């Protein structure tokens, strides 16, 4: 069994077809997630973020990140520490930008409600 760790770059080897072969960044371990929409059961998985460009196909639509079952990833070789740190910074900045975008949309919705 291939050991996956937070911060790894990995290849999706099983899952929703458009994602197979994609390179993803492994964000965090998820102890319990409902994979029944994929024909699986509730179980552990990994939250991943697209690394090879483009959106990931999820059971609820498209997104930059998603959750994939344990066993669906194969790690790439570990990178030198400097490169690994650069990837972690890049992913953190991307996550922050996405959070800011979601917060801006929420505020826009709140302003629209106040005008009604």
For residues 66 and 22, membership in a common domain is answered with yes
> What is the domain extent for residue 85?
80-116
Tens of pLDDT, residues 46-61: 999 998 778 898 888 8
Residue numbers in the chain where pLDDT is lower than 70? 1-2
Q: Do residues 98 and 64 make contact, with C-beta atoms less than 8 angstroms apart?
A: yes
pLDDT at 45: 94
pTM of the model: 0.75
Given phi > 0 = left and psi -120 to 50 = alpha, else beta, which region is 86? alpha
Quick one: CA torsion of 82, 87, 92, 94, rounded to 10 degrees?
140
For residues 29 and 60, membership in a common domain is answered with yes
Number of domains within the chain: 2
Tokens encoding 49: 């973020």
For residues 68 and 102, membership in a common domain is answered with no
For residues 99 and 52, membership in a common domain is answered with no
For residues 6 and 44, membership in a common domain is answered with yes
For residues 63 and 84, membership in a common domain is answered with no
For residues 65 and 9, membership in a common domain is answered with yes
> Which residue from 93, 79, 75, 62 is spatially nearest to 26, judged by alpha carbons?
75
pLDDT at 11: 94
Q: Do residues 44 and 17 make contact, with C-beta atoms less than 8 angstroms apart?
A: no
């Amino acid at each position: 069994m291939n050991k996956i760790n937070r911060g790894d770059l990995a290849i999706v080897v099983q899952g929703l077809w458009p994602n197979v072969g994609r390179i993803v960044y492994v964000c965090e371990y998820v102890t319990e997630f409902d994979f029944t929409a994929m024909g699986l059961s509730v179980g552990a998985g990994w939250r991943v973020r697209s690394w090879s460009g483009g959106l990931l196909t999820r059971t609820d639509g498209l997104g930059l990140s998603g959750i994939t079952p344990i066993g669906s990833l194969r790690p790439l070789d570990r990178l030198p520490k400097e490169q690994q740190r650069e990837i972690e910074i890049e992913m953190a900045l991307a996550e922050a930008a996405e959070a800011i975008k979601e917060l801006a949309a929420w505020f826009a919705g709140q302003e629209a409600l106040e005008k009604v």
